Structure 1
């Protein structure tokens, strides 16, 4: 039996019992449907990511390396702890015997340092080194459903599902920037990219006629790549600056392995319940990522007030990694109450990179546009700053949890992040 034939059999059993095998439809990714998953850096996060035309801190290595030119002296920045929590609810995914709907829920939480950056002053040239975690999740799902309707007429007494999903992306590398005259600067960052994702799924479907279906799946993915970013920044007036960046991630190697153990029920799709299938799938197919172009403006109406905005465009991706072209917007404000205390806040979008849902189609990718805001407070001392901030995003959209089914579900997403960071200048 080929791997592809076995995979069809594995998932067919689940689709016979339920309208779909829910876990089989959940993507193996921290969030493959959005590009703006984590905000990076203390000041940039407070401004909701509207930092392309500012970038005068070590976080500029990530947002716009040209901004390093405007950092006085040497600077060190580290987000000491960042806590991210995410909740995703698929409404009325399953149906009980009494006709009521049952929600399918996924929750993720992770606590980790998400940024470290250092910038060294070499006169008109600045050199930087940074480490960022632009995407991270750790999902643990434990749900038990009772008295469910099946498509074969036999009631499902109990459906048990357990998922452990860990998916982290790391980027690290050097930056270089130098001045072009008195009002313009150019810079570049070259990040090494590393992603590791591991998913363990175990599910058991117990029927009223004493038959049962069991599926255990292990998936592991490792990607290595490189992401160069070119940045430009200039002063349009004494109070208005412009920032521009262009970047793209290229994956240089991929190692994907999937192991599935399956025991089915008596059905037209799986006739021998005493047979246990074990399949292995290996792949080195490299995912493709879009070109990203970001334009930002920053206005300094007074020494105490900053207003900034960003617009980012993500190009269409074709092939196996197909994604729609999309864009994101961000706007932020910063106000200094005193020389030692500053408040920052902002609004941002995190739009889906999948097509809008169309009626009558099957196997459509999840589509949810997110909208959020951030708020942070920073206290300054002579050479250091400490920041406490929070960010929240929410949205609802559509998904199809059932393979080859036109039925769709409403999806509700909530993301929360809390971070504590410190920076030091010398």
Structure 2
């Protein structure tokens, strides 16, 4: 099993201790790399550059932050995924098929706590450096025991930690560029029922599988900032794919008294690249308008294939599509120290077919309805509080995950929603 360098592993563990993975942006991408943009549904994220969290969205934005800046916050996310069986779900055919005896699995959503921290420093008139720490991808679904889809998933949990050193250069008063490196750690767990071929072709028994994988990889990001007028700012930012090859082990037990199986396990997965185009316009002394459009390359995830050394390969078909997200927002300064934020966004899901909708990620298109306030404690310190309600349309599922023999069939409908509450403190020295 790959070993993470001790210092980075220690830092990852410290951050992960406060980060329960969840899912709320489309796919399992986490938009919530600050709470200051939450009230705008992250409209204008690559152009706003109002605190050090611009390091994640567009590192070129550091050129708008004189001195030494710190921004840190946390988002609490409570998603809900409730499944209803339509009567067509079936047990694995290796176990005789037939209707499963389990229930609907309860609410597979779990409360998630996602922290972030950013630091930027102006080292000269034109040069700026920074460091960001966050969790750009995360997912956790967990069902009640003995539900109808237990051979597809009981628990699916992905955590990432991303450390992002960055640099920016102010070419002129109208144009800036920035770039960063990303060291990313991934930690994944997958638990479900499996069919164990005790006598292949003749005797199959149900067992409990527990897969654990860890690994790390590198990526990069780049951004441009253009200020065509005093009141208008445009940002363009790109984050690269990150190709992970985590490894670990799969343990299987429960299929016979005193018997268990263990395999060295590994997989290869490319977490998607993304591109954001944002704009911010200061309409007058009170009103500020924000908007952006973003693209995410989810089609890199056509399947998740787990290789078990000396054992069976477990494949989860995904057939993800590339997605688009559009967001509009506004800020209204209603008092000298107070700013009201609001925004709306449409977030397209990479899952587009009931046959490809995995129980581990019962995703569908969603709308963000957001609001929040900012309070200026002083000239250099602000506190932001934001809230978002996620509306997800009901999503049908009818899948055997490509293997009716060992997984059976899950058929029905998901009713889903989400709530996000965040707080961010930003200051300058």
What TM-score, normalized by structure 1, do the two folds share?
A: 0.75
Q: Given the alignment, which residue of 60, 69, 74 partners 2:54?
A: 60
Query: 2:122 maps to which residue?
Result: 121
1:374 corresponds to 2:357: no
Shift of 1:336: 1.2
Write the deviation string for residues 121-163 of structure 1: whole angstroms up to 9, x where unpaired: 1221111111112234555543567xx9xxxxxxxxxx99995
Counting matched residue pairs gives 365
Shift of 1:99: 13
Write the deviation string for residues 13-45 of structure 1: whole angstroms up to 9, x where unpaired: xxxxxxxxxxxxxxx995896154342213222
Say which SS state the counterpart of residue 103 (structure 1) adopts: coil
Cα distance in 2, alignment partners of residues 406 and 111 from structure 1? 29
Shift of 1:69: 0.6
Distance 1:86 1:29, change over 3 A: closer
Query: 1:16 maps to which residue?
Result: none
Shift of 1:67: 0.8
Query: 1:167 maps to which residue?
Result: 158
Cα distance in 2, alignment partners of residues 289 and 257 from structure 1? 21
Cα distance in 1, alignment partners of residues 383 and 26 from structure 2? 33
When Rg is computed on C-alpha atoms for both structures, the one with the higher figure is: 1
Q: Given the alignment, which residue of 64, 72, 76 partners 2:66?
A: 72
Distance 1:113 1:144, change over 3 A: closer
Shift of 1:291: 3.0
Write the deviation string for residues 79-114 of structure 1: whole angstroms up to 9, x where unpaired: 0x4211111112225589999995333433345352
Say which SS state the counterpart of residue 62 (structure 1) adopts: helix
Cα distance in 1, alignment partners of residues 24 and 421 from structure 2? 19
1:243 corresponds to 2:235: yes
Question: Cα RMSD over matched residues?
Answer: 3.6
Shift of 1:216: 1.7
Determine if contact 1:52/1:294 at 8 Å carries over to the other structure: yes
- After superposing the two structures, state which structure 1 stretch, 394-403 or 335-344, moved more: 394-403
Cα distance in 2, alignment partners of residues 278 and 174 from structure 1? 44
Cα distance in 1, alignment partners of residues 232 and 356 from structure 2? 47
Determine if contact 1:334/1:342 at 8 Å carries over to the other structure: yes
Distance 1:110 1:363, change over 3 A: closer
Write the deviation string for residues 54-92 of structure 1: whole angstroms up to 9, x where unpaired: 12311100101111111133211110x421111111222
Query: 2:296 maps to which residue?
Result: 314
Determine if contact 2:46/2:235 at 8 Å carries over to the other structure: yes
After TM superposition, the structure 1 = structure 2 runs for residues 25-104 of structure 1, keeping only pairs within 5 Å, are 34-50=27-43, 51-79=45-73, 81-92=74-85, 103-104=104-105
Shift of 1:171: 0.7
Query: 1:133 maps to which residue?
Result: 135
Structure with greater strand share of residues: 1
Q: Given the alignment, which residue of 175, 178, 182 partners 2:169?
A: 178
Distance 1:399 1:29, change over 3 A: farther
Determine if contact 1:139/1:166 at 8 Å carries over to the other structure: yes
Q: Specify every segment of 5 or more residues in structure 2 that has no aligned partner in the other structure, as ranges.
A: 1-20, 90-97, 196-203, 305-318
Determine if contact 2:189/2:212 at 8 Å carries over to the other structure: yes
Distance 1:32 1:259, change over 3 A: farther
Write the deviation string for residues 215-271 of structure 1: whole angstroms up to 9, x where unpaired: 3221112131222111001012232221111121322531142222253xxxxxxxx
Write the deviation string for residues 331-367 of structure 1: whole angstroms up to 9, x where unpaired: 221111122111111112332113334xxxx565555
1:425 corresponds to 2:425: no
Q: Given the alignment, which residue of 379, 386, 389 partners 1:389?
A: 386
Cα distance in 2, alignment partners of residues 31 and 167 from structure 1? 13
